[in-house]
């Protein structure tokens, strides 16, 4: 089967299944690279696929290579099922993904962001910090989707509900009531704010707060929310629901982000500490130690005298 034909058939299938346009564009971009590498027949041996994964992606791009792997896995699963043929991807292991330290924010930095003087900007920043919402979810928020303790948003997997605090709800309602021209909550001079507009807004306040490092933007606040939620005692299952992760393994990343705090809590609460302290107290009881020392010295003197 020709590679372009296989890819086209796969993309038609994804569209018929109502996959999100962004996901289909991601598939298409990755598969166009694969088609340029193998423009004629679709490879049926794992070695050819391995060669593409090895040569088409720079060594330092772990996530990019893993993205190509996932895309090809979906393509071959569909194609081989349709044509009842053996799937060469079954013989390949996924590329290793080296763990990277994701930049987040400290409590002090998040507090600085909440000092934004403009109501609209403070409401957006509060929403990001309150529940780690995605930038697209914030941009598309409508007035009618603000409820007493949650909001309804259109996420990557469709409509979902995200809890909000009372403080965030008050800011959102104040902002919504100040605008009567559209049902969008976040608007600018030319209409509803786009995702890129909100992205620039967040970057502006991060720079004002002297927050440095890579990935200045809403996603960094999202990572910070996940980290601090776990740090403050939250569990991964509820965090998964709040953040809209399809897979719990994505959520478990935030347990790793809070590792420093977990280590500190371990040092504070390990049972060995209390057990060791009790043992030391028993072993080094001052009065008992002095008495035993005096008895030993007295015995030595008696032996020496005799």
The residue extents of the domains of the chain are: 3-91, 107-262, 272-305
Say whether pLDDT at 59 is over 90. Answer: no
pLDDT recorded at residue 163: 92
The stretch 63-91 carries a mean pLDDT of: 94
- Equal fold, 3-91 vs 107-262: no
pLDDT recorded at residue 179: 84
Q: Domain 3-91 is of which CATH architecture?
A: Orthogonal Bundle (1.10)
- First-to-last C-alpha distance (Å) of the chain: 105
pLDDT recorded at residue 6: 96
Handedness of CA 82, 48, 64, 256 (dihedral sign): positive
The stretch 99-126 carries a mean pLDDT of: 89
Predicted structure pTM score: 0.65
User: Average model confidence (pLDDT) for the chain?
Assistant: 85
Say whether pLDDT at 64 is over 90. Answer: no
Q: Assess contact for 211 and 152: CB atoms under 8 A.
A: no
Bigger pLDDT: 66 vs 269: 66
For residues 224 and 197, give the distance between their C-alpha atoms in angstroms, rounded to a whole number. 21
Bigger pLDDT: 277 vs 148: 148
pLDDT recorded at residue 276: 45
3-state secondary structure of 56: coil
- Residue 213 pLDDT level (bands cut at 50, 70, 90): confident
For residues 109 and 114, give the distance between their C-alpha atoms in angstroms, rounded to a whole number. 9
Q: Which residues contact 20 (CB under 8 A, 6 or more apart)?
A: 156
Judged by average pLDDT, the poorest of 57-61, 94-98, 103-107, 260-264 is: 260-264
pLDDT recorded at residue 284: 45
Say whether pLDDT at 70 is over 50. Answer: yes
The pair of three-digit structure tokens given for residue 234, joined into one six-digit string = 């939250």
Say whether pLDDT at 181 is over 90. Answer: no
The pair of three-digit structure tokens given for residue 110, joined into one six-digit string = 């998040």
Per the rule left: phi > 0, alpha: psi between -120 and 50, beta: everything else, 237 is: alpha
Per-residue pLDDT of 268-299, as tens digits, reads: 665 655 554 554 454 445 455 556 556 655 66
For residues 54 and 177, give the distance between their C-alpha atoms in angstroms, rounded to a whole number. 55
pLDDT recorded at residue 22: 84
For residues 174 and 124, give the distance between their C-alpha atoms in angstroms, rounded to a whole number. 12
pLDDT recorded at residue 38: 95
pLDDT recorded at residue 86: 95
- Counting every residue written for the chain, the total comes to 306
Judged by average pLDDT, the poorest of 87-101, 150-164, 258-272 is: 258-272
Say whether pLDDT at 32 is over 70. Answer: yes
Say whether pLDDT at 262 is over 70. Answer: no
The stretch 95-110 carries a mean pLDDT of: 82
pLDDT recorded at residue 248: 84
The stretch 212-231 carries a mean pLDDT of: 90
How far from the centroid of its chain's Cα atoms is residue 208's Cα?
A: 24
Out of 1.10.287.130, 1.10.443.10, 3.30.70.20, 1.20.1250.10, select the CATH number for domain 107-262.
1.10.443.10
């Amino acid at each position: 089967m020709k590679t372009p034909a296989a890819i086209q058939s796969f993309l038609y299938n994804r569209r018929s299944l109502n996959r999100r346009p962004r996901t289909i564009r991601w598939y298409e971009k990755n598969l166009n690279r694969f088609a340029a590498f193998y423009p004629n027949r679709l490879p049926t041996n794992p070695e050819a696929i391995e060669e593409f994964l090895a040569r088409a992606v720079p060594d330092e791009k772990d996530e990019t290579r893993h993205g190509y792997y996932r895309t090809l896995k979906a393509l071959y699963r569909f194609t081989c099922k349709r044509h009842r043929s053996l799937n060469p991807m079954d013989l390949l292991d996924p590329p290793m993904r080296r763990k990277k330290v994701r930049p987040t924010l400290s409590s002090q930095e998040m507090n600085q962001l909440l000092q934004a003087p403009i109501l609209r900007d403070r409401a957006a920043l509060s929403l990001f910090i309150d529940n780690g919402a995605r930038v697209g979810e914030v941009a598309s928020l409508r007035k009618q989707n603000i409820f007493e303790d949650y909001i309804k948003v259109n996420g990557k997997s469709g409509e979902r509900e995200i809890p909000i605090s009372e403080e965030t709800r008050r800011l959102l309602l104040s902002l919504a009531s100040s605008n009567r021209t559209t049902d969008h909550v976040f608007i600018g001079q030319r209409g509803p704010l786009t995702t890129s507009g909100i992205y620039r807004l967040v970057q502006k306040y991060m720079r004002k707060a002297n927050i440095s490092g890579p990935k200045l933007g809403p996603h960094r606040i999202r990572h910070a929310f996940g980290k601090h939620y776990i740090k403050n005692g939250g569990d991964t299952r509820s965090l998964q629901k709040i953040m809209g992760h399809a897979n719990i393994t994505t959520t478990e990343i935030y347990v790793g982000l809070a590792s420093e705090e977990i280590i500190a809590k371990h040092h504070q609460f390990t049972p060995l500490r209390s057990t060791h302290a009790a043992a030391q107290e028993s072993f080094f009881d001052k009065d008992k130690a002095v008495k035993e020392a005096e008895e030993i010295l007295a015995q030595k003197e008696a032996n020496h005298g005799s």
